[in-house]
Amino acid sequence: MRITTNAILRNYNKNLSTSMKNLDLMRNRVMTQRKYMSTAEDPSSALRATTLERKYAKNNDYLDTVDDLQSHQNAQEDAAMQISNIALTLAKQYGIEGMNGTNLSKETRKTYADAWRGAQKSMLLALNSTYGDEYVFGGSDAKNPPFTLEDITDPNTGKPTGEQVLKYRGVNVSDPANKDILEQLANDTHFVDLGFGLKVDGEGNSPESYNIDPATAFNTSLPGIKLVGYYGNGVPKTPLTDKDGNEISNNMIILAGKIANYLDDDDATGEDFDYDEYKKLVGAFEDGRNNLLSEVTILGTNTEFLTTTKERLQNNKIQIAEDYDNVVNVDMAEAIMDFSWAQYVYNASLKVGNNILTPSFIDYMS
């Protein structure tokens, strides 16, 4: 077969162009540290990289959410512990242990009453604690103060009767007629997606028509009435009644006010002060504190859960970053070696070009 000079030049130019293209490709890989510069170069890797980018961004969103939830829950736990510490101080210093023979005087009882009223206000402030612009004990309604304490006035005289009404989101927490709605408010939920495969069932256009699987989301709601008691929550288990047969509220805020009023009763002297009735009220208050401690324990469990979740998300972040690096980024040692080889091939191609035309008959003609 006859090989012409034009054929040799065409093949040489073609191969030299391939060497230049390969050298440019290897040079770009070293400079950009990427395996490909466009989707067309490696469609499958580009698709996988896009998927990993989405996972990485979503994982970071979950991490940010967990950080915010941890701060929110710390605010809940701090406020709950504040109420618990106040209740413990009341029980020890101004409760049953403090009511010995020398402390039954009218003046001492008034001092104790002032302490109970001051503690009542402090507990109420803690129940209306905020994190940012959200009330931490408001359940699903975190934009409005959850608790309000109102003094009952005599409709005839307009003067305070000494009794009080505590309302949670506008509902009297001690009224038996509100039992059902209080149960609903106490079990109010506010779920947040933390990457557990959120499952939602239901049909309709309103949020109430959908049901979220609790196992696939984290409930951030802690209604304040679960901390301090409400009618129907079973604390104490046996409803208490006063000496007149009226049922005693199991709410710690209302109980603190009742105890203060009982201590501040002008009609009771040191001799006729009903210690048993006072003991009953303080006992109910301590039952409420025990219930509060149970809720704080649950808070601690949720805090540990968030810590574990954060660790899992951080591990996912590292793994996704490694997977992305393997798909998109080059091994620099290998890339430099490939570039050196491509440069060697290109230089060799140029050297071959100097000798591509062999001497012909015309070179010997004089």
Question: What pLDDT is attached to residue 129?
Answer: 94
Question: What pLDDT is attached to residue 306?
Answer: 94
Query: Is the per-residue pLDDT at 366 higher than 60?
Result: no
Backbone angles phi, psi at 97, to 5 degrees: -65, -30
182 close to 169: Cβ distance less than 8 angstroms: no
Query: In which band, very low, low, confident or very high, does the pLDDT at 148 lie, cut at 50, 70 and 90?
Result: very high
β-strand partners of 202: 210
Mean pLDDT of the chain: 83
Query: Is the per-residue pLDDT at 269 higher than 60?
Result: no
Q: Name the more confident of 302 and 152.
A: 302
Query: In which band, very low, low, confident or very high, does the pLDDT at 98 lie, cut at 50, 70 and 90?
Result: low
Query: Is the per-residue pLDDT at 116 higher than 70?
Result: yes
Query: Is the per-residue pLDDT at 360 higher than 70?
Result: no
CA-based nearest residue to 76, from 334, 297, 248: 297
Query: Is the per-residue pLDDT at 99 higher than 90?
Result: no
Question: What pLDDT is attached to residue 207?
Answer: 53
Q: What is the mean pLDDT of residues 14-43?
A: 79
Question: What pLDDT is attached to residue 325?
Answer: 84
66-80, 274-288, 314-328: which has the minimum mean pLDDT?
274-288
33-42, 73-82, 249-258, 323-332: which has the minimum mean pLDDT?
33-42
Query: Is the per-residue pLDDT at 209 higher than 60?
Result: no
Q: Is the pTM of this model over 0.85?
A: no
Percent with pLDDT over 90 in the chain? 36
Question: What pLDDT is attached to residue 1?
Answer: 62
Query: Is the per-residue pLDDT at 313 higher than 60?
Result: yes
